[in-house]
Amino acid sequence: MKFLRMKPGHGEVLLAEGDVEVRDEEQRLVEAFREQLDQGMWAAVPTTAAAGRRAAQMVKSFDEVPRDAERVIFFPRAAGGR
Amino acid sequence: MLLALGATLIVIVALLWEVAAPAVAERVRGIRARRALVTGWEDVPGYDPGRERRAEQKARSLLKSCVNEEEWAMYRDLGFIRVWGRLAEAPEPGAEPAAECGAPYAYLVYPHKPIVCFLPQTRRLLNEYCVAFPDETRPYGSARLPDSDDVLAKWMALTGDERRLIGTANMHLPGRQVDPKAVRRDLWRLSQWERARLVRERRRAGSLPAS
């Protein structure tokens, strides 16, 4: 599983990578996830439905991330614009 | 006689002003808002066009890997993505709240512009949803994501939790920042694009003769 974060001037940045089945790596992912949420990021998991329809699943905690997700994308929280 | 004419003229001007003033003020506000959207980069210290271009290329790759083939082609060819709305009807009893129950409305998602909601059947514009994803860490002095990252953030938030995104956005009537004429032209371009795409797909499938 990869954690990516959108950043101005960078495109996406790889934050962390690990296997959720390996305890230490999962713990590292949990910490990285929490850190991003503490920084005010939103997290989404890109998904593909059975009919091929693409969507995203917004997740608010690591427990909500599907175990087989390949990546979680973090992006700044939405704010009302002008 | 002259006094009466003068008084009549003053009354007419006052009435006309009363009628036209809100429209004029609204138009001036729109022009100012649109100008504010296209300026800004020059004021950012350390702005590097090469770096921004590389960031945009990475962002385009990420967007392409997340959306479906049709949405990617739409963005590549037209510069925006249409996302179908999912909150049109109440879900069936027992269905998931996010279940798709018909889609009589949709959104146009542009980079760094408000999300425009419209009715596809009539092309009537409903609202503008002004929303931004500012990264306050400002790694290079700007909080602004690359264009394609901004589109992807809107797409993920709309397909993942439409209600939350729309609840966060500031809602305005159409025309505040995005020119309604330009949006209607984009909807026309989208219909032409879809028609051409359909013809190409039918030809590929062999149900239409090649011209």
> What residues of chain B lie within 8 A of the CB of A43, using their CB?
none
pLDDT band at B29 (very low <50, low <70, confident <90, very high): confident
Could you report the predicted ipTM of this complex, rounded to two decimals?
Answer: 0.94
Task: For chain B, say whether A12 makes contact (Cβ under 8 Å).
Answer: yes
Are B131 and B171 in contact by the 8 Å Cβ rule? The answer is: no
What whole-number distance in Å separates Cα of residue A49 and Cα of residue B23? 46
Q: Which residue of A has its CA nearest to B167?
A: A80
Q: So what's the pLDDT on residue B158?
A: 95
Task: For chain B, say whether A54 makes contact (Cβ under 8 Å).
Answer: yes
Q: Which residue of B has its CA nearest to A74?
A: B153
Task: For chain B, say whether A51 makes contact (Cβ under 8 Å).
Answer: no
Are B63 and B73 in contact by the 8 Å Cβ rule? The answer is: no
pLDDT band at B13 (very low <50, low <70, confident <90, very high): confident
Nearest 5 degrees, angle CA B78-CA A57-CA B111?
25
Q: Phi and psi at residue B170, in whole multiples of 5°?
A: -90, 125
Is B62 in Cβ contact with A12 (below 8 Å)? yes
Shortest distance, CA B84 to any CA of chain A (angstroms): 11
Task: For chain B, say whether A8 makes contact (Cβ under 8 Å).
Answer: yes
> What residues of chain B lie within 8 A of the CB of A8, using their CB?
55, 135, 138-140, 142-146
- Retrieve residue B151's tokens: 């589109």
**Residue A68 in 3-state DSSP?**
coil
**DSSP secondary structure, B158-186, as one string:** HHHHHHHHHHHSEEE-TTSSS-HHHHHHH
CA neighbor of A78 nearest in space, from B170, B38, B147, B86 = B170
* Tens place of pLDDT per residue across chain A (82 aa): 999 999 999 889 999 999 999 999 999 999 999 999 999 999 999 999 877 789 999 999 999 999 999 999 999 999 987 6
- Retrieve residue B32's tokens: 């100012």
Task: For chain B, say whether A49 makes contact (Cβ under 8 Å).
Answer: no
Is A78 in Cβ contact with B139 (below 8 Å)? no
> What residues of chain B lie within 8 A of the CB of A10, using their CB?
55, 58, 139
Task: For chain B, say whether A60 makes contact (Cβ under 8 Å).
Answer: no
Shortest distance, CA A18 to any CA of chain B (angstroms): 20
Task: For chain B, say whether A75 makes contact (Cβ under 8 Å).
Answer: yes
Nearest 5 degrees, angle CA B38-CA B146-CA B180?
45
Q: So what's the pLDDT on residue B35?
A: 66
Angle of helix B147-168 relative to helix B49-66, nearest 10 degrees? 60
Shortest distance, CA A35 to any CA of chain B (angstroms): 14
Task: For chain B, say whether A56 makes contact (Cβ under 8 Å).
Answer: yes
Q: So what's the pLDDT on residue A55?
A: 93
The minimal CB distance from A79 to the residues B36, B152, B168 is found for B168
What whole-number distance in Å separates Cα of residue A59 and Cα of residue A69? 12
- Retrieve residue A49's tokens: 């439905």
pLDDT band at B14 (very low <50, low <70, confident <90, very high): confident
Collect all residues with Cβ–Cβ distance below 8 Å to B152 and sequence separation of at least 6.
A6, A73, A75, B59, B62, B63, B66, B67
Cβ count within 10 A of residue A64: 11
Q: Where are the alpha helices (DSSP H) in B39-68?
A: 49-66
Q: What's the whole-model pTM score? A: 0.79
